[in-house]
Amino acid sequence: MVVRHGGGEPAEAPPTGVPAGCVLPFVLVFIVLAVLAGAGLIGLGGGDDAASTTTTTAPAAEPVLEAPAEPAVPEPPEGSFTVSAGESTSLNLDELADAIERRLSAAGHAGAFVTVDGTLLQVDPGPGPLTVAAMQELLREPGRLEIRPVRRERRPEACADQPTAQGADDDARYPEYEFTGQRTGEIVACYQVAPGGITNTAVERAHATVIGPDQDGNRDDDWAVDLFVTTEGIETFNEMAAACKHREPPCDAGLAAIALDQVVFMAPRVADAEFTRFDIQISGDIDEATANSMVAALTTAPLPRGLEFSS
């Protein structure tokens, strides 16, 4: 605007705005404050009682298409080992696992547990007296049960050597060890067994049972084992029983040796000359543990030959 004062040259009006040199710093301060506010570093508005809050939202999970993680494979128990049936691929592994457990239980090691793992069997030794090496040695044997007539009892030294494989038609010397059914401890008896008697195939089933007290004051050993044999097996069993009852050849000692893999569990005296297939009972100072081991021995299935072992 121009104001004239009388004549002469017009005079410029005094400046009414803010000098440019002062505007620029204010602009820069405003920009900085705006940036800080947008970043959530300062709070704006709300008066004296207003609180400044900052909310951070996590990004949504992105969908992923991938293979599931492999499940962790537990480490096998310490001391466990695997069993392979070798070339016997037609074997039922569940039945073989059960037979191995019974075989070990019959040897006095009842804590072992066997599971099927693909084409292998995993053996967890569990608690018991046998070492892994002793178990594997035991499982290499077929698990043949025999109840054979005893010709005579010999001194323990006569069975100092481990029994060798002999056919059912041969005389043999079978030891009985200090620990029932095991190949450990001292040999306490030696039996010369004769041909005859029965094997696994004649045993139908067996179970432990409590019997009446024998008046010795100890109820812990008043156990017995009831044995049931097949229709085909009872005739052969009674041939042995008659000879043993009358102490006639081939059972001159009157005893029937119950043996698993040529080791005698027990050699009871035969009290009767004839039995039915459902009324055979083994008794005489037997405690519960021995009765259960006897049942395991009587009902164990023969193992296949050629089992292979690895840690």
Using pLDDT thresholds of 50, 70 and 90, give the confidence band for residue 311: confident
pTM greater than the 0.75 cutoff: no
| List of domains in the chain | 81-310 (3.30.1360.200)
Buried b (16+ CB within 10 A) or exposed e, 269-290: ebeeeebebeebebbeebeeeb
- pLDDT for 185 equals 78
Choose between 22 and 187: higher pLDDT. Answer: 187
Confirm if 123 and 135 have CB atoms less than 8 A apart: yes
Which among 156, 188, 195, 155 has a CA at the least distance from the CA of 172? 195
> Per-residue pLDDT tens for 28-76?
445 545 544 455 444 444 444 544 555 556 666 678 777 777 665 555 4
> Per-residue pLDDT tens for 258-275?
998 888 989 999 999 999
